[in-house]
Every structure is written in structure tokens, then in C-alpha cells.
């Protein structure tokens, strides 16, 4: 084998190794709604997924992708209504930002929750919210 093809082989091995490592990492980081159910214990005093069952917080039935302040019959803060009017919708990205620091993402929100500092907890709870929002219970 020429030194050149050896070099190519080396590059190939490195590339494959990186690919495998990346695949393993993404499998491990895949959001788990089951783990999210545990995280949601911090939320369930205020939130249910039953349609129209509002607690301190609005029902999260069908919240995924919907515009902010969209649950019928819940008295949202002026701040949250304003954000909805401006076009904020609950995508994964928006939920991640809101759950990290509710009062930073929506100043003057009524959601009295300090936030979830752990990115993995947030990913998992978002997976759980998405699953449950569809089912409505």
C-alpha cells in the first residue's frame, strides 16, 4: 500500500469512528417521555391535560404548536396574551426557552415556576407534554 492510500484509510477509520460515536450519543440523548413524566410532577399541581380542566395554570390539552394563551376559558396574564397576539407558538424551541426561565422568556407571566435548569429534564418533559397534549388526559 502506498503511503497515500494508508493516509486515506486512516481518515476513513477516523470518520467511521466519529460517526459511531455521534450515533451512540444521539441515541442516549433521545428524549424520553417516560423520564419526562417524572419531571412533570413539578408541573402537575398547576397543569392537567384534560380538556378545559384548568388549575392554577391552563389545561395543556392540545398545547403543542398552538399559539400562546390559547386554552379556551383560562384567565391568562396580559403578558402571555400579548405574546400570543405577537405570534408566539409552543414549538419545542419555545417550550425549551419558557421552561428554562419562564419569567425571562415571558416577563410578567403568571406562571410562578423558577424553571428547569437541566437541558435533559427539559427535553424529556417536552416529549411528555407533546405526547399527553394529544391524548388529553
129 in Cβ contact with 36 (< 8 Å): yes
Select 110 or 131, whichever has its Cβ closest to ligand HEC: 110
Q: Closer to ligand HEC by CB, 12 or 107: give it.
A: 107
Nearer to ligand HEC, 2 or 137 (CB): 137
Tell me the CA distances in angstroms from 126 to 11, 43, 46, one per residue in order: 38, 12, 16
| Minimal distance, residue 68 CB to ligand HEC, in Å | 4
The smaller minimum CB distance to ligand HEC, of residues 111 and 127, is found at 111
> Which pairs count as long-range contacts for 46-55, CB under 8 Å and 24+ apart, including other chains?
46/111, 46/113, 49/132, 49/133, 49/135, 49/136, 49/137, 50/136, 50/137, 51/136
Q: Provide the minimum distance between the beta carbon of 22 and ligand HEC in the complex, in angstroms, as a whole number.
A: 29
Q: Residue 55 Cβ, how far from ligand HEC at the closest point, in Å?
A: 8
How far apart CA 38 and CA 44 sit, in angstroms, is: 10
d(C-alpha 59, C-alpha 73), whole Å: 10
Site for ligand HEC, rule CB under 6 A: 42-43, 45-47, 56-58, 60, 63, 68-71, 76-77, 79-80, 90, 95, 99, 109-113, 116, 125, 129
Nearest distance in Å: CB 20, ligand HEC? 34
Amino acid at each position: 500500500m502506498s503511503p497515500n492510500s494508508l493516509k486515506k484509510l486512516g481518515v476513513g477509520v477516523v470518520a467511521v469512528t466519529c460517526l459511531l460515536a455521534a450515533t451512540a450519543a444521539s441515541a442516549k440523548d433521545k428524549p424520553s417521555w417516560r423520564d419526562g413524566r417524572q419531571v412533570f410532577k413539578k408541573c402537575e399541581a398547576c397543569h392537567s391535560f384534560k380538556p378545559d380542566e384548568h388549575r392554577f395554570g391552563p389545561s395543556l390539552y392540545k398545547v403543542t404548536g398552538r399559539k400562546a394563551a390559547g386554552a379556551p376559558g383560562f384567565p391568562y396574564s396580559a403578558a402571555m396574551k400579548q405574546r400570543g397576539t405577537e405570534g408566539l407558538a409552543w414549538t419545542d424551541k419555545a417550550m425549551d426557552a419558557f421552561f428554562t426561565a419562564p419569567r425571562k422568556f415571558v416577563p410578567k407571566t403568571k406562571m410562578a415556576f423558577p424553571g428547569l435548569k437541566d437541558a435533559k429534564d427539559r427535553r424529556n418533559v417536552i416529549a411528555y407534554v407533546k405526547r399527553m397534549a394529544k391524548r388529553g388526559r
